[in-house]
């Protein structure tokens, strides 16, 4: 029996399955894979974005540097946290700052896609460091956030620790990871962060 025949025999023994696929544009399909028929697609109601809906709000920011630098998700941007942590600055990376009641908070938005090919050093890191340093000079407290506080915002905080505070990548990553265990910069960001040195950007 040839390899092709073996594969065809095994395919016939597989159970029929259905999988929900969400594209980058937010379109959702049920893809039915039956062993005896051509796969069919049934389109579901389109979502506004192509990402998993967060059903567990992550409202507590992590304090990375005492009484100054905080890291969190978009859920951490609320009036309660502004008051509790005495936040004066909010840096939103890749996602607009949620609407706030307080107009005393200095806000800044940086466009940034969470993709390995996104170049952080070209614009994102310099602009982020400038904003974070302005908060420090004003003796304020800054919260850096993205959608989940896992990749983009974590990368910005690590870059700040390397370029402004003079830490090596491993030490900066370990510090941030110890304060916010869920961080996981994408592979492209990690590669870029490992190449950073003090005074690079």
- Is 182 assigned a catalytic role? no
pLDDT digits (tens, 9 = 90+) for 113-172: 999 999 998 889 999 999 999 999 999 999 999 999 999 999 999 999 999 999 999 999
Q: What are phi and psi of 46, to 5 degrees?
A: -70, 145
Could you identify the residue written with the tokens 């040195």? 197
Helix (H, G, I), strand (E, B) or coil at 69: strand
| Domain residue ranges of the chain, discontinuous segments joined by + | 14-53, 62-194
**Predicted local distance difference test score (pLDDT) of residue 146:** 95
Q: Specify the range with the lowest mean pLDDT, choosing from 24-38, 68-82, 142-156.
A: 24-38
* CATH class of the 62-194 domain in this structure: alpha beta
């Amino acid at each position: 029996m040839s390899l092709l025949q073996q594969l065809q025999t095994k395919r016939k023994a597989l159970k029929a399955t259905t999988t929900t696929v969400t594209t980058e544009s937010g379109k959702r399909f049920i893809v039915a894979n039956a062993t005896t028929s051509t796969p069919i697609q049934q389109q579901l109601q389109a979502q506004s974005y192509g990402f998993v809906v967060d059903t567990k709000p992550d409202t507590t920011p992590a304090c990375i540097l005492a009484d100054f630098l905080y890291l969190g998700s978009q859920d951490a941007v609320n009036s309660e946290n502004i008051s509790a942590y005495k936040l004066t600055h909010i840096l939103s990376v890749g996602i607009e700052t949620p609407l706030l009641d307080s107009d005393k908070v200095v806000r800044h938005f940086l466009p940034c896609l969470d993709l390995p090919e996104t170049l952080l050093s070209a614009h994102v890191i310099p602009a982020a460091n400038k904003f974070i340093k302005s908060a420090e000079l004003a003796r304020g407290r800054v919260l850096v956030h993205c959608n989940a506080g896992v990749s983009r915002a974590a990368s910005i905080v690590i870059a700040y620790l390397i370029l402004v505070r003079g830490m090596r990548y491993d030490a900066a990553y370990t510090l941030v990871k110890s304060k916010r265990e869920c961080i996981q910069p994408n592979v492209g960001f990690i590669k870029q962060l490992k190449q950073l040195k003090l005074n690079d950007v």
